[in-house]
Amino acid sequence: MADAHRIEDPHLYHLFDGEPVLNVYKSDVTNLSAGTPGPDLLKQCIEMFKHATEHRMKKEEEHAYLFQYGITSGLWEFREELAKFLSAKYGDKVHRQNLILTCGATHGLQMILTTIVQPNGVIFVEEASYMIALDALKQFSGMKMVTVPIDSEGVDIAAMENIVREEKSKGSWNVTEEKPFWAVFYTIPIFHNPTGITLPKKRCEALVRAARSLDFLVVCDDVYVLLHYGNAVHPPKRLFAYDATLEGYAGGHVISNCSFSKIMAPGVRVGWLEAPARLINTFRASGYLRSGGGVNQYMAGLITSLLELGLEERLLDILVKTFKFLQANSRKAH
């Protein structure tokens, strides 16, 4: 049993330091256990950030706005450049106004659950899911966690609808304009972790219709979307886009939760939510963001320069080529 009066604080350099399996700094092992780049890829960031810092500091010489509290939705030009970048990469229009700056996908998930979901609500998760997200979700002890089945094509929508309908009938849900959802479904519809499944079009459409009919929120962990290795120019269509374009739009029931951790470096702690207007306005007005202003203002400014200079696009190409190569070699080895 741990000593409650003693704090263990060994000198570690990163989250996986000392881990026998997850340590990506072991050069003799190609580690597929941790979703993080190794030092060979992270070193690509050194010159990039030197260049971006110099570029951004020149812009700050007159007013130094970057060192001020930021607007609640996040640095305006960051969201503008990010929207352009995502539009090109997705092959589908992304609007600046639909983006909220976060400190990464885990922070985004926490913001969603604390801001727009009833505190006594229900969290639906796939029976196989990202393990650490489940640990984070368990911290919301006032919410009930319920699993839904999956098969070879992803979540079983018909079975899920029955489970959701039953759970909804059990409670009395005092939804409000500020907290409009009684339940949330956490899912990874594209390049699912751990199964690798991508939800087919018909199921994406069925999931959106189910969310509208039963009025629950779908939170998509979309951190892997841009790391696609296929022959198609663009990755699979994200669920947020299905909700925005499918007939019978009902104000928006899907949020895309993303991060630069997988497509740049985990240490930057920058991500974004892509959400419908009614939810964006609620996030912007939240006491959490109004008190501290937009999160990670300084780093958002540097990433703005990385996007403007084309450096993030160059890095993403390197990451995709490297991971594709490692995947091919891993298959040959087996």
pLDDT reported for residue 134:
84
* Mean pLDDT of the chain, nearest integer: 92
Q: What pLDDT score does 245 carry?
A: 95
pTM of the shown model: 0.93
Name the pLDDT band for 106 (thresholds 50, 70, 90). Answer: very high
Specify if 41 maps to a domain: no
The answer to the question of residue 207 being in a domain is yes
**% of the chain beyond a pLDDT of 90:** 78
Q: Which of the four pLDDT bands, split at 50, 70 and 90, describes residue 330?
A: low
- Does the pLDDT value for residue 2 go beyond 80? no
Query: Is position 295 within any domain?
Result: yes
Q: What is the pLDDT of residue 158?
A: 97
From CA 112, how far away is CA 218, in angstroms rounded? Answer: 11
Residue 211 belongs to domain spanning: 71-314
Arithmetic mean of pLDDT, 108-134: 92
Residue 44 within a domain = no
Prior bond to 194 cis, omega within 30?
yes
Q: What is the mean pLDDT of residues 297-314?
A: 98
Q: What percent of the chain has pLDDT over 70?
A: 95
Mean pLDDT over residues 219-242, rounded? 95
Question: Across residues 269-290, what is the average pLDDT?
Answer: 95
- Per the structure, the count of domains in the chain is 1
Q: Is residue 121 part of a domain?
A: yes
- Condensed to tens digits (0 to 9), the pLDDT of residues 241-266 reads 999 999 999 999 999 999 999 999 99
Does 222 score more than 80 pLDDT?
Answer: yes
Question: In CATH, what number is assigned to the domain containing residue 298?
Answer: 3.40.640.10
Tell me the C-alpha distance between 220 and 209, whole Å.
Answer: 15
The neighbouring-strand residues paired with 184 are 123, 217
In whole angstroms, what is the distance from residue 127 CA to residue 150 CA? 7
Within-domain flag for 162: yes
Residue 287 exposed, middle or buried by CB count within 10 Å (0-12, 13-18, 19+): exposed
Does position 143 have pLDDT exceeding 90, yes or no? yes
Stretch 288-296: mean pLDDT, rounded?
A: 91
Please tell me the predicted confidence (pLDDT) of residue 86. Answer: 98
- Per-residue confidence at 333, pLDDT binned at 50, 70, 90? low
User: Who has greater pLDDT, 17 or 272?
Assistant: 272
Predicted pLDDT at 328 = 73
Q: What are the pLDDT digits (tens) for 153-178?
A: 999 999 999 999 999 999 889 899 99
Give the integer Cα–Cα distance in Å for 82 and 275: 14
> Residue 223: pLDDT above 90?
yes
Mean pLDDT of 98-118: 96
Residue 329 inside a domain? The answer is no
Q: Which residues contact 140 (CB under 8 A, 6 or more apart)?
A: 113, 119, 123
Query: Whole-angstrom Cα distance, residue 235 to residue 263?
Result: 14
Express each pLDDT in 260-275 by its tens digit.
999 999 999 999 999 9
Residue 20 within any structural domain of the chain: no
